[in-house]
Amino acid sequence: MSETDLQVHRGALVTEPGGPVHVAPVSPREPGPGEVRLNVKASGICGADAGMAANPSPAYGFPITPGHEVAGVVAGIGEGVAGWEAGERAGVGWFGGSCGHCTACRSGDVVHCAERQIPGLTYPGGWATTITVPAAALVRIPAGLSFEEAAPFGCAGVTTFNALRHSGAQPGDRVAVLGIGGLGHFAVQFAAAMGFETVAIGRGEAKRHTALELGAHHYLDTSHEDAGKALRAMGGARLILSTAASSNPLAGLIDGLTPHGRFTVVGFDGTPLELPLDKLVPHARHITGHITGRPVDTEQAMRFALASGVRPQVQTAPLQQAADALKTQQAGQARFRMVLTTDG
C-alpha cells in the first residue's frame, strides 16, 4: 500500500481498551471471494456504536472501527460476486453477513443466524472512508435518497419499518411510539405513513411540536400524565413500539394496550422488566423484541420512504470529528441521527 493510499483512506479508531476515538490512516482491505469493498460516503452513529467503541476484546482485535449504518459506492469486487458493478450506490447495515447454511439462513431468517456478522463488531465498521463486506449484506440505494439520508436506514430505518409492518396492526389501528429520537423519529413517520392513528410518547412539552410535525396525531407528555392511562382512555393501542433507550417506563404502559395488543421493544438498556402476569394473560397481550432486517427489507424501507415522504432528520459531521459526534449522540443532543461524512 503506497503512502498516497494511506493518506486517502482514514478511519475513526479505538486502538486500546477504553481508549479514545481518533482518526488515523487505514489500509483498505481488498475484497476476497464473495466480498465487495465500498468507498464510504456517509455513516450513521447508533447508540450501539458506543458499546462497540468500548469493547475490551473485539472479535477482530484492535484497532476497533465502529459503524453499522453505511452508505457509499462500490469500489472493488471480489471473486465470485455477481450483480454488482463498480460505481454503484450501495450500503450495509446492522446485518453484515451470515453463514448461509444454518437452519435460520436456510429458512430465510438470516438476521437470526447464530454466526451473524455485524459491521464494527465482527469486522471493521463504517466510520471510515473504506469498508469491505460480504456481498450478500449489500443494500442498493435508490435514486432520490442522499448518502446521508440512506445511511440510517441500515439500522434505525429498517428496524422500525419491520417492527411496524410485522406487528399485526392494521391501517386505522391506534399505534403508540415511545421515544422521539434516532429510532423514534423514524417510527412516528412510518406509523403515520402506514395509516395508523399515531400516538407519540415523550417527556417534555417541547417535544409536542416535533412529534406532530413528524406526523403524530397525538402527543402524550409523560412528565404531566400517565401515558398508559391516557392510552386506555383513548380506547387502547393495538401496538406500543418502544424506541427509548431507557426500559424504566415500559411496565407502566402495558395497561395502555388493547386486548391482543402487542408491546414491541426495539430500544432498551438492559434493565430487567418486572411485570405482573395479570396484566398480560387475562388480556392476551404480547411482549416481543425486534431487531434489524434483511438487506431486501432495508431496500423496501427505502422505497416506501421515497413513496411516502418519510425521511430521517440527520445532523452531519465530518469523519475527522467522530469523537465529538459520538458525544453529541450519547448526550441525546442530535436531531435526530448523527451522520459522519467523508467528502472533503
Judge whether 250 and 266 are in contact, CB under 8 Å.
no
CATH code, domain with 72:
3.90.180.10
Mean pLDDT, residues 69-92: 98
| C-alpha triplet 96, 131, 3: angle, nearest 5° | 160
In the block, cell 392494521 appears at 170
Q: At a CB cut-off of 8 Å and minimum separation 6, what does 82 contact?
A: none
Q: Is the same domain home to 126 and 8? A: yes
- pLDDT level of residue 276 (50, 70, 90 thresholds): confident
Domain boundary, last residue among 246, 270, 289:
289
CATH code, domain with 275:
3.40.50.720
- How much of the chain exceeds pLDDT 90, in percent? 89
Domain boundary, last residue among 272, 289, 306:
289
Q: Rg (Cα) of the chain, in Å, rounded?
A: 20
Mean pLDDT, residues 286-299: 96
In whole angstroms, give the CA distance from residue 176 to residue 150: 25
Q: Is the same domain home to 146 and 8? A: yes
Q: How far is CA 46 from CA 39, 43, 166, 199, 215, in A?
A: 20, 10, 23, 24, 23
Helix (H, G, I), strand (E, B) or coil at 2: coil
Tell me the three cell numbers of residue 68. Answer: 453499522
- pLDDT level of residue 344 (50, 70, 90 thresholds): very low
Tell me the three cell numbers of residue 242. Answer: 418502544
Judge whether 106 and 158 are in contact, CB under 8 Å.
no
Q: Is the same domain home to 144 and 177? A: no
User: Across the strands, what pairs with 262?
Assistant: 239, 286
Q: Is the same domain home to 151 and 297? A: yes
Mean pLDDT rounded to a whole number for the chain: 94
Q: Is the same domain home to 166 and 51? A: no
Q: Is the same domain home to 208 and 220? A: yes
Mean pLDDT, residues 114-138: 97
In whole angstroms, give the CA distance from residue 242 to residue 155: 15
Query: Among candidates 58, 88, 62, 60, which has minimal Cα distance to 75?
Result: 88
- Res 3 pLDDT > 70: no
Q: Is the same domain home to 49 and 97? A: yes
Upstream peptide bond of 33 is cis (omega within 30 degrees of 0): no
> Per-residue b/e over 88-117, b at no fewer than 16 CB within 10 Å?
bbbbbbbbbbbeeebebbeeeebbebeebb
Q: Is the same domain home to 280 and 311? A: no
Is residue 306 packed enough to be buried (19+ CB in 10 Å), middle (13-18) or exposed (0-12)?
middle
In which domain, by residue range, is 245 found? 159-289
Q: Which amino acid is at 246?
A: S
Q: How many structural domains does the chain have?
A: 2
Mean pLDDT, residues 290-299: 96
Q: Is the same domain home to 210 and 150? A: no
Query: Which H or E element spans position 67?
Result: none
- Res 116 pLDDT > 50: yes
Q: Is the same domain home to 183 and 284? A: yes
Do the strands 337-341 and 35-44 form a parallel or antiparallel pair, or are they unpaired? antiparallel
Q: Give tens-digit pLDDT for 37-67.
A: 999 999 999 999 999 999 999 999 999 999 9
Q: Is the same domain home to 108 and 167? A: no
Query: Furthest-apart CA pair in the chain: how many Å?
Result: 68
- How much of the chain exceeds pLDDT 70, in percent? 98
Q: Is the same domain home to 17 and 110? A: yes
